[in-house]
Amino acid sequence: MAPIFSPLPDKPDHGALELELLDAWEREGTFEKLRELNRGNPKFSFVDGPITANNAMGVHHAWGRTLKDVFQRYKALRGFDQRYQNGFDCQGLWVEVEVEKSLGLNSKREIEEYGLAEFAERCKERVAHFSEVITDQSVRLGMWMDWDRDYYTFTDTNIEYIWRFLKSVHERGWLYQGHRSTVWCPRCGTSISQHEVFSGEYKEVEHPSLTVRLPLTGREGESLAIWTTTPWTLPANVGAAVNPDADYVLREDGVWVARERDPEATAAKTARGSDLVGLEYEGPFDHLPAQEGVVHRVIPWDDVSLSEGTGIVHIAPGAGAEDFELSRVHDLPVLAPLDEAGRMLPGFGFDGVSTEEVEQPVIDDLERRGLLLEAGRIVHRYPTCWRCGTPLVFRVVDDWFISAEEIRQPMLDANATVEWTPPFYSKRMDDWLRNMGDWNISRKRYFGLPLPLYPCEDCGTLTVVGSRQELEERALGGLDQLQELHRPWIDEVPIACSGCEKEVRRIPEVGDAWLDAGIVPLSTLGWQSPEYIPEGYATGAGQGLTKADLPDHAYWEHWFPADWISEMREQIRLWFYSQSFMSVTLIGESPYRRVLTYEKLLDQTAREMHRSWGNAIDVNDAFTEMGADVMRWQFTSQPPSQNLLFGYGPANEIRRRLLTLWNSARFFVDYANIADWRPAWGDVADGPTGELQPLDRWLVSRTYELVREATDAYESYLTVNVVRAFESFVEDLSNWYIRRSRRRFWDGDPVALGALWYALVQSLRVVSPVMPFLSDHLWRALAGPVESAPESVHLAGWPEPREADDNLLAEVAELRRVVELGRQARSSVGVALRQPLHTLVVEGAVLAARHAGEIAEELRVREVTFGTVDASELRVKPHLPVLGPKLGKDLDAVRRALEAGEFDALPDGGFRAAGHDLGPDEVLVERRGKEGWAVATADGVTVALDAKLDEELLLLGRVYELIHRVNSLRKELGLELTDRIELTLPESDSVLLEHSDWIARETLAVSVEASGSELTLAKTGA
Ligand SMILES: [Zn+2]
Ligand SMILES: [Zn+2]
């Protein structure tokens, strides 16, 4: 007769079983069945933060996607109806930069030569390709999503929703064009907003370090000394700032510096900074055309640093943010020296050269004219572009901004309603909101959100188009070629100005990509959409990529706000911020109720992963070499407030730990098949049947406890606690229940088999969101043959909560602590585990007293007594690394006092010896046994083991050793668990025949004899 349960191999082949299950889920329609089960139930609304469909997935993406999948799976087991909509981010600088690279284009001029329509097509192709790659990788990871109905942020639908937001912002008077100093990437040719600057890396960059002399007008022989690391800004100098409250000195070499910067200098003159304000000086490049008519003045500035440079700061409002602000206060001219590509403009003396190329010519020029006091090099941390890594510069340009002032407090109020995991991130969000500047929304680029802004030079009206329909109503031509709302097509549609009806054109700028992702909680859920349009989301560039519906407003009412979202911590100033900004503006409330956020992924040695460093792990390699479950285990066992150290080392360790679960399941399968034991599905609801022994009752309670702990962990969105609870449960199951019940399994005890089966299948249900493959594989092995059991663990729902017997759990926990201490005591005196001993004395473990028999068996002692461990005495030693430095020459006296036992215990756990109070962490405390006794102590429990051996104990030790050897041999010879043997001991062991019945029972021997010089065993009937 075929066995009921298919036997499991020695260890799981994660890769193979995962691919098999992906097939099975597809074939059986498992995900669709799950959605069907939950349809119409109470909802769990998750809104996916879009992944950029720009490259293949990285392992850090796999972390975030695992967490999203874990909680969607958990909520599905709890019966919640869900949307499962995945999102792709598809336009903006990040896509453009990759397409530029792939086409070998290196500047905006080259893109324009290539043609904007062609360039847009290449961007769309890239998104189409990588959204498919990412989908395949996500499926491989085990992520369940409604893959056909993804949202794409470059659809016309998404764009129209952003247009509506911008129109609303304009109606409130928040939208303005700012002539401002902005951070600028010379390679990308666009400004970089505040949140993007923070996303970029600060790299170690080497720059010149120049001290320059600027002669004061009308003060013969006196100059100001200024310091700069950006020579390209000097031709744009218009002022010099001093700290009005600092002291300045005129040194003997004729230059003024702050006293603090050169305290030793002999001063020819001294002055307060405020005395210098208003003096005029000769600029470093007065002869340049751009400098014509500029009067250079000394201005006051409280922020002038006295900790670097000369204490006098060179001011170029066209080349620095703070300089620009000062120009407004002091009415200074703004000379902007750079073009879009970061090259010097005509009139600044170095036409067309880059900020780097101009360094040496500027230095040479200053030196020739005798203005250079010092020239060196400096290595400092400098911000770089988050997309292309180019060092950033400052430019004064016209950009479009949304004022943040009026929305700041409402956003703070909205954040107060959000529950953050871990909670301290809520304050991080508050900090960001309190300090956020106005939102720079315009980018001088191509394939991005077309900003619907149409300024009129005639009447001064700014027309903001709020929808495609409005565009068509106002259009004065070009609609026939408008295949989608992107550039270049949108630029060919002029409209009538809403003020004077004259023809106006769109500004050329596109929008910040965070507008695209920020609108998602409104656009994908159909906010204010009058009707439900099947596949209505697939518009514009998204056509053919998705079948996503455009839901109606009622649907939005149902699903908004998100119950839960999750992304990496940096999204506080990115997606968490932008969607809150847009939602609070339009709806007046937060678009999410709860957020899980987490730190960074590093390599296993805590270094950042970089392809160029050779330590990046390709996600496909990880699938092949670790398996998705093991990756997911790494991600989920991580506390979210710490960086994750990801790698093959931790993966191997996880694989080893998961073997305990596997071996327990395999053990069950083997013995259930031998006993021809068959479970009933009803046993899962009601627990194991029959006459339960105390150990069975404990296992059942322990299973209830696992369900309780895992429920709490999932409900608080902390996967690390799920993993901890599960690992500790499996440890108990394997190293306590199974080990202590081995004989019952040999005897085919149906109650033990039932209890073990129950514990295993319940634990698989609990862990299935974290580890969907192995849990389903084992589910199919254990529950598959059971009539009316769900075919997949993912369709089995969440286990009913039951009341655990907490007293019993505490009792066994204490019992296990005693056994653990007993083992420690044994190994401290080097007695082998198999060697029986006489006596164990236990102190401080009242609950374990009922389990004396189990303790005796576990520790192989003949007698266990509970009482005071009088066999031990306290020994205290100085902890030298701490006490040495503290006590100095007194250390010897203290050491001698401790050695002599001349000390008093203090209430804090410390001791007083030789006149010194020693803290608990300054001493090492040992409880040592009297002669022949081994002692171990922890957490208020102490055990003492009588380690003395006699003839009889030694003989018993030899028998245990023999049994162990025989059973190892049985395994080596490949005997079945049921095979009987004939056993022959060497003559030298004939004394052991005294215990031949016992030996026969433990080794399944039909006969035990002694002859010859070798241990031999033969299978009977073979
Ligand atoms: Zn760049
Ligand atoms: Zn007008």
Q: In this predicted structure, what is the pLDDT of residue 905?
A: 76
259 CB-near residues (< 8 Å, 6+ apart): 246, 247, 248, 249, 265, 267, 270, 311
Ligand 2 center to 400 CA (angstroms): 19
pLDDT digits over 669-682, tens only? 999 999 999 999 98
pLDDT for the residue 160: 98
List of residues 6+ apart from 991 with CB closer than 8 A: 955
Q: Is the Cα torsion angle 912, 913, 915, 920 positive or negative in sign? A: negative
How far, in Å, is the centroid of ligand 1 from the Cα of 579?
A: 24
Instruction: Give the β-pairing of 255-258 and 247-251.
Output: antiparallel
Phi, psi of 366 (to 5 degrees): -65, -40
Write out pLDDT tens, residues 283-303. Answer: 999 999 999 999 999 999 999
Distance 154 CA to ligand 2 centre (A): 30
Q: Which ligand is nearest to the CA of 503?
A: 2
Distance from the CA of 500 to the center of ligand 1, in angstroms?
39
CA of 982 to the centre of ligand 2 (A): 106
Q: What is the pLDDT of residue 933?
A: 85
Q: How far apart are CA 526 and CA 556, in angstroms?
A: 5
Residue by residue, DSSP assigns 718-731 as -HHHHHHHHHHHHH
Cα of 440 from ligand 1 centre, angstroms? 16
Extract the tokens encoding 992: 């052991």
454 alpha carbon to ligand 2 midpoint, in Å? Answer: 9
Q: Is 145 within 8 Å of 84 (Cβ atoms)?
A: yes
- Smallest-distance ligand from the CA of 342: 1
Ligand nearest the Cα atom of residue 190: 1
CA of 188 to the centre of ligand 1 (A): 4
CA of 732 to the centre of ligand 2 (A): 78
Mean pLDDT of the chain: 93
- Distance from CA of residue 1005 to its chain's centroid? 56
Would you put residue 334 in left (φ > 0), alpha (ψ -120 to 50) or beta?
beta
Output the pLDDT for position 81.
Answer: 98
Q: What separation in Å is there between the alpha carbon of 460 and the centre of ligand 2? A: 6
- pLDDT, tens digit, for every residue of 877-896? 888 878 888 888 888 889 89
d(CA 837, CA 730): 30
CA of 504 to the centre of ligand 2 (A): 7
pLDDT of 735 strictly over 70: yes
pLDDT tens digits for 580-589? 999 999 999 9
CA angle 775, 777, 780 (to 5 degrees): 105
pLDDT at 863 over 80: yes
Residue 199's pLDDT band (cuts 50, 70, 90): low
Whole-number Å distance, alpha carbon 464 to ligand 2 midpoint, is 12
Cα–ligand 1 centroid distance for 109 (angstroms):
15
Q: Which of 164, 194, 199 has its CA nearest to residue 182?
A: 194
Which ligand sits nearest to residue 186's alpha carbon? 1
Q: Report the separation in Å between the CA atom of 775 and the middle of ligand 2, taken as the mean of its atom positions.
A: 66
**What confidence category does residue 525 fall into, taking pLDDT thresholds of 50, 70 and 90?**
very high
Ligand 1 centroid–CA 881 distance in Å is 52
Query: What's the Rg (C-alpha) of the chain?
Result: 38
Q: What is the pLDDT of residue 191?
A: 85
| The pLDDT of residue 997 is above 90 | yes
476 alpha carbon – ligand 2 mean position (Å): 14
> 113 alpha carbon to ligand 1 midpoint, in Å?
20
Compute the average pLDDT of residues 148-152: 97
Q: Which ligand is nearest to the CA of 499?
A: 2
User: Mean pLDDT over residues 385-390, rounded?
Assistant: 84
Residues 6+ apart with CB under 8 A from 526: 532, 550, 551, 552, 553, 555, 556
Cα–Cα distance for residue pair 627/623, rounded to 1 Å: 5
More confident residue, 871 or 343: 343
Measured from the alpha carbon of residue 98, the closest ligand is 1
Q: What is the pLDDT of residues 393-448, one digit of tens each?
A: 999 989 999 999 999 999 999 999 999 999 999 999 999 999 998 999 999 999 99
Summarize pLDDT for 474-483 with one digit per residue, the tens: 999 999 999 9
- pLDDT, residue 726, reads 98
Q: Which band of pLDDT confidence, cut at 50, 70 and 90, is reported for residue 828?
A: confident
Q: Separation of 482 CA from ligand 2 center, angstroms?
A: 24
Please give the distance, rounded to the nearest whole angstrom, from the Cα atom of residue 380 to the centre of ligand 1: 20
CA 503 / ligand 2 centre spacing (Å): 8
Query: In Å, what is the CA distance from 507 to each residue of 153, 161, 319, 742?
Result: 21, 19, 25, 79
- Cα 731 to Cα 559, 652, 728, 756, 785: the distances in Å are 41, 18, 5, 13, 26
873 pLDDT band (50/70/90 cuts)? Answer: low
* Ligand 2 midpoint to CA 505 (Å): 11
Spatial contact of 258 and 311, defined as CB atoms under 8 Å apart:
yes
Q: Pick from 714, 707, 763, 705: which is nearest to 734 by CA?
A: 763
Ligand 2 centroid from CA 175, angstroms: 18
Task: Compute the distance from residue 191 Cα to the ligand 1 centre, in Å.
Answer: 9
Tell me the mean pLDDT in the region 351-378: 94
412's enclosing H/E stretch is: helix 405-415
Say how far apart CA 878 and CA 923 lie, in whole Å.
Answer: 5
CA–centroid distance, residue 933 to ligand 1 (Å): 72
In the prediction, which pLDDT does 177 show?
94
Q: What is the pLDDT of residues 744-786, one digit of tens each?
A: 999 999 999 999 999 999 999 999 999 999 999 999 999 999 9
Residues above pLDDT 70, as percent of the chain: 98
Residue range 133-147: mean pLDDT, rounded: 98
The CA 118 to ligand 1 mean position distance, Å, reads 21
Contact assessment for residue 186 and residue 389, using Cβ atoms and an 8 Å cutoff:
no
Which ligand sits closest to the CA of 196? 1
Block residue for tokens 């002022």 = 239
The whole-number average pLDDT for the span 488-511 is 97
* Cα–Cα dist 910/908, whole Å: 5
- pLDDT tens by residue, 949-969: 999 999 999 999 999 999 999
For residue 458, the ligand closest to its alpha carbon is 2
Ligand nearest to the CA of 460: 2
Find the 457 Cα to ligand 2 centroid distance in Å. Answer: 7
pLDDT value at 527 more than 90: yes
* Sequence-distant (≥ 6) Cβ neighbours of residue 274 within 8 angstroms: 244, 245, 300
Crossing angle of helices 59-77/628-636, nearest 10°? 80
Rounded Cα distance between 700 and 366, Å, is: 85
Query: If you measure from the C-alpha of residue 477 to the centroid of ligand 2, how many angstroms do you get, rounded to a whole number?
Result: 17
pLDDT recorded at residue 169: 98
* Mean pLDDT, rounded, for 182-194: 86
How far is ligand 2, taken at its centre, from the CA of residue 495, in Å? 10
CA of 391 relative to ligand 1 center, distance in Å: 8
Give distance in angstroms: CA of 496 to centre of ligand 2.
Answer: 8
